[in-house]
Amino acid sequence: MTNTLHRFGDADSFRDDYIVFAMYAILILGLKVSPHKINGFVHALPYYLFYCQEMLTYSGSEFPFYQSWSLGIEEKFYLVWPVLAFGLLRRTKWPRLSVTLSMIVLFIFGSSWTNMIGTYRFEDYSCILLGALLALFLEDRKAYLLLQRFGHVSFLIVLVSLAALHFFFLPTHQSYYGKPLYASLVTILLGTLLSADGLIQRLLANAVLRFIGRISYGVYLVHVLCFNVVERFFRPQSGLGFPIYLFTCLLSLAAAYILHILIERPMIGIGKWVLHRTSVRRRPPAIA
């Protein structure tokens, strides 16, 4: 029954993707807001429609909605991983962990062995698999308690510092192992945050951050479009970097909240209704 609700959650994200994509189509093809992007957008249409945008060779000026390249990676992962982890290996705990670890190593080194075209890099799959590995570890009591021991503030500060140093001084595009290394640091950080309970966890659980987290997927989809809108009023070369950043954040949050109200909430409501109907039908009859 939980899987039913999860499937409706995926459909909700699916609709968000295409609605934002339709907004780009209206602006570029219909209103011709950025004529220089028309050819690139038309060329990219088949890739976007079938979640293959990570296969494009592009720069942001040529193909609008370029930030959605990660959706191509994610959707392929979501097609394969549930079947493997919760279908074929659903009753085998340690083989599931072993297969996950093996796939992470394979995808990391596979990128250095394979010369793919454009942005298609196998290590991207290793990054998302690290999150799946963390989820499997958190299901194990011993692993959960081990992560909990590292939830001390000093260790969290070390992890954040290492991730920040990597982000600012070791650009991920310079090597095949940059992304997995950064993703590993973030995965450990998330594991300690989720398993422990302290001041940092309570600060991160405040209402404002929870609200931002709830609409964060929408922010991901619209932030580049919002940045383009803000650029119409504040030119990047004007030296007003902070106002541009601030207004982009505020506009992205507002647009994402509208998506949340108009699309996500109704879809969640439908999912709960279907879940309720399914549970009622499966409920055994009362014994007289």
pLDDT in tens, 208-227: 999 999 999 999 999 999 99
DSSP string, 187-205: HHHHHHHHH--SHHHHHHT
| Selection from 123, 120, 96, 121 nearest residue 107 by Cα | 123
Cβ atoms of 224 and 59 within 8 Å: the answer is no
- In sequence order, the 6+-apart residues with CB closer than 8 A to the CB of 276 are none
Separation of first and last alpha carbons in the chain: 27
Least confident of 8-12, 157-161, 186-190, 200-204: 8-12
Has residue 119 got a pLDDT over 70? no
Indicate the pLDDT class of residue 277, thresholds 50, 70 and 90: confident
Has residue 109 got a pLDDT over 50? yes
Nearest-angstrom CA–CA distance, 245 and 115:
36
Which burial class, exposed, middle or buried, applies to 46 when counting CB atoms under 10 A from its CB (0-12, 13-18, 19+)? exposed
Has residue 189 got a pLDDT over 70? yes
Has residue 273 got a pLDDT over 60? yes
Indicate the pLDDT class of residue 114, thresholds 50, 70 and 90: low
Nearest-angstrom CA–CA distance, 116 and 275:
42
Token pair, residue 233, equals 């009023």
Cβ atoms of 172 and 179 within 8 Å: the answer is yes
pTM to 2 decimals?
0.78
Domain boundaries, the chain: 92-197
Token pair, residue 273, equals 């209704």
